[in-house]
Structure 1
Amino acid sequence: MYNSTITEYEGNKSRKLTLRTENGKNSILDQPPKENIPAVQPLIWRNIIAIPVLHIITIYLFVTRYNEAKFWTWIFTISYEILGGLGITAGAHRFWAHRSYSATLPLKIMLTCFYCMVGQTHLTKWIRVHRTHHRYTDTSADPHNASRGFFFSHIGWLMVKCHPAVKEGSKNVDMSDIAADPVIRFFDKYYLPIMFSLCFVLPTLVPVYIWNETWIVSIGATISRYLVTLNAAFAVNSFAHIWGTRPYNRNLKATQNPTVSFFTFGEGWHNYHHSFPWDYKAAELSLYRLNLTTAFIDFMAWVGLAYDLKTPSSEMIDKFCAKRGDGMGLLKPNVK
């Protein structure tokens, strides 16, 4: 069995950020202002072109070929997507970005392989972006600042160069634990061949050579899985920062969004997560309600691969809600 550790969270005491304003002067801010800081952000044309084209091709392949896919292709693709999603939620997010629990070496390697199956970016970069997002949420130093609207927070932030505030803010993010991790160092060093093999090559070859799926269907399934996983991850930055309730902290854009939680294995309980980012459950709801990631971590703890699971006490949560919540109430039983 595992031990669940209750930890008091002090938060980020220092949110200093150096910004160069339009008149060329530097100013030190406790945190960036809520309004957008004007800045020139050059367009990334390859992303502007590639992202829509990839979506169009994928939609076309799915609409014209989905009925040709064999039963095992559906099962394999969905299973592969789930494992890759856990690589983000249980791995890059809850384990590495927030250190909400500890993991043994075999679990670290497994989670990193799962993460490479989704084809996003180097783990170190993903973690730095996410830690910057939490340190400067809803400000100009937030890489996918929800204050700039749905499109920007969902995918527009990938179509422009980083805001200067993001570059400066990311320098204040402590990444020493990540730099010291030999698993991340290895996978970052060989990320491109590992990612390409696990995200695109393997899932395309398996259906073709194991149960004689056609190449066009197998390729379409691989690309469809890739885009679904990407958009599910982006939905946490967009949908879960716009629509939903804010029972834990009414001052944050992050919301409680059950639909996003369904597609992201528990990452849509986002108002809670931004209030208690170090909780391994990323939610207060029990019975694994729309939270496959928590069930996975609990299972890993049960078999001895995860330990020191961090979570707050119910009293701590109730006090936090009473002080900062929007008063809309919570759909929850007692904490599991």
Structure 2
Amino acid sequence: MTTKDFAPVSSDGARENNIVDTLIESTMVKNPHVPARVIGTDYTYRRKIVWKNAIGFLILHILAVWGFFIFVRGGVSLKTLLWISVILFLSGEGVTIGAHRLYSHKSFSATPLLRAFLLLCHTIAGQNSMYIWCRDHRLHHRYSDTDADPHNSKRGFFFSHIGWLMSRKHPYVLEMGKRIDMSDLEADWMVMFQKKYYYPLYVIFALFIPVWVPIQYFGETFWNSLLVCYFFRYCYQLNGTWLVNSAAHLYGTRPYDKNFQPVESWFVSLLCFGEGWHNYHHAFPWDYKTAELPTHINISAVVIRMLEKIRLAYDLKTAPPEMVAERIMRTGDGTHHVFGNEEAKAAVTAIGPLHPLNPSYTTKHKPL
């Protein structure tokens, strides 16, 4: 059970996430309602709002803010705060380790016991079934930041953060989503079981148990537990995940490939267990670390290696250092902490706190 250097092959047999190839290839869609053209971003396209979704998210966030004020004013016990922290950690790893690094990218292998546990944790996170999450994410990598990307960041922060869930999918998302190879997940009975029974599983594990435990064992009132342990906790985690789609595609440096929209963001990595090193991840999506450095603000990578030590995870895939260095020198924006140059680093403007390996949120690069 060792970490392996791995060549970049995507889930459908082609090199994954090469946006340059994506933008120049002649990928014509067969849907008669979609014009046959190379996929980019059509800024004249107007999306239709799905009002039930928009109103639902508004209500969800209002109740989450209510829960937040109860939280900051000490309206729940220390035991409940510890309970929330455990739920946030487990459900967060269900997304980052389970849905993202294992099931979407197959960057390592897992025993049936670990796969079942990660599916459970992912259910607690409440971000749709594993099957749908992975399909959308594979589509995102295949057509990153184009109209076929479910949360195309070229549409701006709000759309890539939450707006994509409030509007009808672009025809390209629907068409290209049907072409994503999901045969590996379709052959996994546990994934398909969760997909089939997702909603009752969600009610039990994401809503009932997180709210019931503090009421039963910690003396919380029903409303305090519901508002803090469900609405606040759920919204906090949702927005953390959404920041990977929005902030980590817009505000940061591109030391590995300046042709990619995704950026490096230590802030997003801090909130999302290491998912913010996004320029690296889009350059080397098969790497279990989703980052060049294995331990730098990357809790999920540390956890995966711990799981490897106890033989629950194995065949960890990683990009060889020489491949990473070559990519930095060939396509990077010059801001890399080792292989960068002073001129490129001097061109960086900072908004917010600085960080030695990710010096800013924004750069002076022209928008892609």
**TM-score, normalised by the number of residues in structure 1:** 0.92
Aligned to 2:306: 299
The separation in 2 between residues aligned to 1:123 and 1:169, in whole angstroms, is 19
Q: Percent identity?
A: 38
Are 2:249 and 1:241 equivalent residues in the alignment? yes
* 1:285 alignment partner AA: L
The separation in 1 between residues aligned to 2:55 and 2:184, in whole angstroms, is 36
* 1:247 alignment partner AA: P
Q: How far 1:42 moved relative to its partner?
A: 2.5
The separation in 1 between residues aligned to 2:291 and 2:310, in whole angstroms, is 22
Aligned to 2:64: 58
Aligned to 2:364: none
Q: Deviations over 1:287-310 (max 9, x none)?
A: x22111111111111100110000
The separation in 2 between residues aligned to 1:200 and 1:191, in whole angstroms, is 13
Q: How far 1:175 moved relative to its partner?
A: 0.7
* 1:7 alignment partner AA: F
Q: How far 1:26 moved relative to its partner?
A: 4.8
Are 2:49 and 1:43 equivalent residues in the alignment? yes
Aligned positions of 1:80-159 closer than 5 A: 80-159=87-166
Aligned to 2:198: 191
* 2:246 alignment partner AA: S
Q: How far 1:314 moved relative to its partner?
A: 0.6
Q: Deviations over 1:228-283 (max 9, x none)?
A: 01000000000100111100010111000000001100000000000000000000
Question: SS in structure 2 opposite 1:266?
Answer: coil
* 1:49 alignment partner AA: I
Are 2:28 and 1:18 equivalent residues in the alignment? yes
Query: Which of 277, 281, 299 lines up with 2:285 in the alignment?
Result: 277
Aligned positions of 1:218-229 closer than 5 A: 218-221=225-228, 222-229=230-237
* 2:300 alignment partner AA: T
* 2:81 alignment partner AA: W
Aligned to 1:79: 86
Q: How far 1:17 moved relative to its partner?
A: 3.0
**How has the CA–CA distance of structure 1 residues 25 and 249 changed in structure 2, closer, same or farther, with 3 Å as cutoff?**
closer
Aligned to 1:311: 318
Are 2:161 and 1:162 equivalent residues in the alignment? no
The separation in 2 between residues aligned to 1:232 and 1:134, in whole angstroms, is 19
For structure 2, the residue ranges without an aligned partner over 5 or more in a row are 10-14, 338-355, 358-368
* 1:200 alignment partner AA: L
Greater displacement, 39-48 / 244-253 = 39-48
The separation in 1 between residues aligned to 2:70 and 2:188, in whole angstroms, is 45
* 2:202 alignment partner AA: M
Greater displacement, 149-158 / 207-216 = 207-216
Q: Deviations over 1:134-191 (max 9, x none)?
A: 0001111111000000000000000111101111221221111111111101111111
Question: SS in structure 1 opposite 2:125?
Answer: coil
Q: Deviations over 1:209-243 (max 9, x none)?
A: 11212222211122111000100000000010011
* 2:336 alignment partner AA: G
Are 2:8 and 1:9 equivalent residues in the alignment? yes
**How has the CA–CA distance of structure 1 residues 109 and 251 changed in structure 2, closer, same or farther, with 3 Å as cutoff?**
same
Are 2:258 and 1:250 equivalent residues in the alignment? yes
Q: Is the 8 A contact 2:277 2:291 kept in 1?
A: yes
The separation in 2 between residues aligned to 1:167 and 1:262, in whole angstroms, is 33
Q: Is the 8 A contact 1:40 1:163 kept in 2?
A: no
The separation in 2 between residues aligned to 1:38 and 1:167, in whole angstroms, is 19
Q: Is the 8 A contact 2:66 2:227 kept in 1?
A: no
Question: SS in structure 2 opposite 1:27?
Answer: coil
Q: Deviations over 1:1-46 (max 9, x none)?
A: x300111115148855334799x685253xx12x326445322111
Question: SS in structure 2 opposite 1:51?
Answer: helix
The separation in 2 between residues aligned to 1:138 and 1:161, in whole angstroms, is 17
Q: Deviations over 1:79-111 (max 9, x none)?
A: 110100000000000000000000010000000
Q: Is the 8 A contact 2:70 2:76 kept in 1?
A: no
For structure 1, the residue ranges without an aligned partner over 5 or more in a row are none
